[in-house]
Amino acid sequence: MFPGDNEVNERFKPVAAVAGLLFAVYTLGWFVHWLARHHPGVQDAVGIAEIALIAAVVGVTMFRWSARKPLVEAMPPLVVAVAIGCAISVLLSPFAGGSYPFKAGAGDFFFKVWIFLGASLAGMLLGYLVLVALGRDHRSRALDRMARARPTVTGRPNARQRQKQGAKSRSDVAQH
């Protein structure tokens, strides 16, 4: 064992978990696609659901990781997880569907890579936009903490402080 091995393992466990989950979703999609090989309509629905699930997994991960850390720290591990998940998925998942990666040619193989990466990018954007819209991103929370801690420049109370004072004065009035 090398010094710091546990620290590295702990840091990359979430990356491996997300990559594994993406691989599981993609492989399950290939397997169900193979089971429904005589039903083209079902195969199309499975493909769309698979892409939507990939975007959802990446979006939820982006939402959770970016709420805890700044985007600059949360994005690189997610990009690595998506890259590993994509590489493993497009190379190994076709075997679950009775095929192999380059059966339909290089164009089809790279088309699947672009679809996977496009769904992941859409999930990242959607997850981060929802996080920002809810005001739970790292920057919004830091600005909120700063506004609470610092008095206003004019010396007058800000809206939050006025609201607290108003609540206190109302309770004082109710007691007398």
What is the predicted pLDDT for the residue at 81? Answer: 96
**Structure confidence by residue, pLDDT tens digits, 31-69:** 888 888 888 888 889 989 999 999 999 999 999 999 988
pLDDT in tens, 89-111: 999 988 887 788 888 888 888 99
**Contact at 8 Å (CB) between 137 and 67?**
yes
Give the span between the Cα atoms of 76 and 82, in whole angstroms. 10
Q: Which amino acid is at 78?
A: L
Angle between helices 40-68 and 71-92 (to 10 degrees): 150
Average pLDDT for 156-175: 62
